[in-house]
Chains A and B, each alone.
Chain A
Amino acid sequence: MSHSLLALVVALPLLAAFLPPLLPGAIRRLLGPLALLLVAALGVYLWRITLIEPVSLALGDFRPPLGVVFYVDSVAALFVLAVALVTLLLWPWRGDTSENLDRKQSLTLVLAAACGGLAVSGDLFNVYVFYELAAVAGYGLAAGGGTAAARVATFRYLILGSLGSLLALLGITLIYFRAGTLNLAHLADLAPQTLHDPFGLAAFFLILLGLGVKAELFLVNTWAPEIYATAEARVSALLAGLVSKLALLVLARLLVLVFPLPEARGALLILGMLGMLTGEFAAFRARDIKRMLAWSSIGQLGAAFIAFSIPGSLGLAAGLAIALHHLLVKPALFLLAERWGGGLARLAGAARRSPFGAALFALFALSLIGVPPLPGFWAKYLLLSGLAAQPDNLYLLAGLVVLVTTVVEAVYLFRVIGMLHGRDAAHSEKPQNMALDMTLPASTLAGSGAFAALLLAVALAAPWLTAPLARMALQMNDSAAYVARVLPATATSEATK
C-alpha cells in the first residue's frame, strides 16, 4: 500500500472545513466528525505499521531536500490518532447561532489539520506554517467565547503569539542562511558541520521561544491563565491538551534531530524547571478552577520540557509519557470545569449534586499527582529515574523541583476535592451561591467519562504499553534512521553538497 495516504491527515480535515458552504445542512454537520473518524482510523493504521518501520512521503513526488516531506514514525502516528480522537471528544456540538457553530466547527477542523500537520511534517518552514495555522485557529476559537474579556485576552495572546512566530521565523531564517535547506532530515545530516556552533544554538533558542508560546514554555506562557479563564472550556481543553503537545513534539524533534547539544538541553531544562515552579505555585493561590487548571498545565508542560531535556531515549520516553498523560487528563478536567468553572468557593457541596463528576475529578487529580497505579505515576517514575541517572547536578535539582511541585499540586487539587465534598453551598449564608446550579450536564459527564475510561484502560494495560513506549522513544531518538528514510539515496545529499 502506498504511503501517499499520509497526506490525508492534513487534507481531509481541511476539505471538511472548506466544503460546508457548498453542501446542504444535514450533510455539513456530519462532514467534520466523519473526516476526524477517518483520520483516527488512519492514525491507528499508521501506528500499527510504523511500530515496525517509519514511513515517509515526499509531497508532490519531489525528491526530498527540494520538496516538503511528511515523516511518520510511531510517535507521530500516535499523535495523529490522539489529535483526531481528542478533537472528536471535544467537538463543538452546540453554538449560539447556526452560523457561529459553522465557524467554530470549521476552526476546530482547521486546528485538527494543523495539529496533524505538525505531527507529521518533516520540513522546518512547513512546521512554521502549520504552527501559524494552529495559532490562528486557536485565536479564533479563543475569541469565540463571546465575552469582551475573551476578546482582550485573545488580543494579548495574539500579540505574544505573533511576536513568538516572528522570533521563530528569524530562527528559521538563520538556519536557512547557514544550512541552505529546510528539510529536517537534511538539516540533521548537515547539522554537525554547520549548525553545532553558537550560530545554530542562537537559531534554536529563537525557535524555542517562538514555538514555546503554544507549548506554554516559561517566559512566553503568560497568556495561558487569561485565555483559559475566558475561553470556552472546550477550547481551553483543545489548546491545553492538544496544541501544546504538538508544539512540544516539534520542539523535541528539533532537539533530537538537529540540536542534540548540551546547551540546548540546558535551556530546555532551566526553562522547564522555572515553568514548573511558577506554574504549580501560582496554581496554589488560584481562586477559580479554570485558572488553576491553566497554571497546573503550565507546570505539567514544564515537567515535559524537563523530561525532553534528558539525553537519550529514556528522556524521550519520559517526555512522551508525560505529554500523552497530560493529553488525556487536562482536556477532561477542563470539560468538568465547563460548569464548575467559577470560584472555588462556589463548588461547596457540588459532589452531592454530581457524585459521578466529583469522582471523575478525583480520579484525574490523583493521576495528575502521580498516584500509582494510575498512568501519571509511571510518567513521573520515568521522569525521576531519568533525572536521577544524570551525572549533572542540575538534573538532580530538577528532580527536587518535580518532587516539591508535586506536593504543591496535590495540596491545591485536594483543596478542590475537599471543597466538592464539603458542606453544601445551599446551607451557607451567602445567598448568591444558592442560585448556581452545580449539577453537571450529561454531555460533560459523557465526555470526561470517555477520557476517564481511556485513562483507566491505560492504567490496566500499563505492563503491555511499556514496550511500545520504549520502541517509540527509540524510533524518535534514532536520527540516523530518520535521515536514511527521508533521504534514501545518499547520492542525494552528496549531489547537493
Chain B
Amino acid sequence: MSEFALLTLLIGALGLVALGIGGLVLSRNLFRVVLALALAEAGANLLLVLVGFRQSAWGAIAPIIESGRDAASLTPSMVDPIPQALVLTAIVIGVGVQALALSLAIRAYGAYGTLDMNALRARMETDIDSAAGTQPARCQHAPAGGRPLPPISAGARRADTPGTPA
C-alpha cells in the first residue's frame, strides 16, 4: 500500500474521531449523541488497526497461517496481530456501552417525554432538588440581579415523579 493510501486512511480515521467528538458536543438529541459516540469509537478502532499495519516486500499479510504454507516464511511480513485482537475487544466493549446508553435514553424519554439534553438536564436538576427538599440553585443563565425564575407548578412536578408512565 502506498504512502498516500496510508495517509488517506489515517486522515479518514482521524476525521471520524473529530466528527464523532464534534457531534457528541453539539448534538442535543440523546440518540444522536449515541450515534456520534459510535462514530468516534469507529474512528479510534480504525486508528488502532492502522497502527498495526506493516508494509513489507510482499505486501501485508493477514496473521493467519494458511494450511500448507511454511509459517516461518510468512511471519516476517504479517501485520501485527495484537492491535487486531485489541480492536475486537474494543468493538465489543463499544457495543455494550452503546446498548446501555440506548436503554437509558429510552427510559429518560419515557419519564420526561423528551430527548433534548438541555431539557433533560434541567428536569433532572429540578427532580434532584425536590427530592432533597432544597431550593433549586439559580440557573446560570438567570439575570445577574437574581430575579427568581417562575416556580415550577405542582402539576408539572408531579408528572416528573418516577414510575408514572408518561
Contacts and interface: CB of A to CB of B under 8 A. Distances in A.
- Asked if chains A and B are in direct contact (CB within 8 A), the reply is yes
Given A147-B162, A155-B105, A170-B17, A290 B132 contact: yes
Nearest to B166: A148
A170 B13 CA distance: 11
A170 B44 contact: yes
B60 interface: no
Contact of A148 (B47, B82, B117, B127): B127
A424 interface: no
A163 B162 contact: no
A343 interface: yes
Interface residues of B, number: 47
Given A159-B37, A229-B128, A152 B93 contact: no
Interface in A278-313: 287-288, 290-291
Contacts of B137: 287
A342 B135 CA distance: 11
A136 B90 CA distance: 13
Contacts of A344: 134
B108 interface: yes
Dominant SS among interface residues on chain A:
helix
Contact of A129 (B89, B112, B123, B160): B89
Contacts of B79: none
Nearest to A346: B133
A125 interface: yes
Interface in B139-166: 160, 162-163
B120 interface: yes
A149 B30 CA distance: 15
Interface size of A as a range: 35 or more
A177 interface: yes
Interface in A120-148: 125, 129, 132, 135-136, 139-140, 143, 146-148
Contact of A158 (B82, B104, B123): B104
A345 B90 CA distance: 47
B75 to A, nearest CB: 14
A346 B134 CA distance: 9
Contacts of B17: 166, 170
A182 B21 CA distance: 26
A198 B21 CA distance: 23
Contact of A163 (B37, B110, B111, B132): B37
Contact of B47 (A139, A149, A153, A173): A173
Contacts of A136: 93, 96-97, 100
Interface string A164-197: 0110011001001100001000000000000000
B44 A159 contact: no
B82 to A, nearest CB: 7
A322 B41 CA distance: 35
Given A148-B110, A148-B123, A163-B24, 18 more contacts: A129-B89, A136-B96, A139-B97, A147-B127, A148-B160, A149-B131, A158-B97, A159-B37, A165-B97, A166-B21, A169-B90, A170-B44, A173-B44, A173-B51, A173-B83, A287-B129, A343-B133, A345-B134
- The 3 closest A-B CB pairs, nearest first, are A148-B111, A343-B134, A288-B132
6 contacts: A132-B97, A146-B162, A151-B108, A155-B120, A159-B33, A163-B24
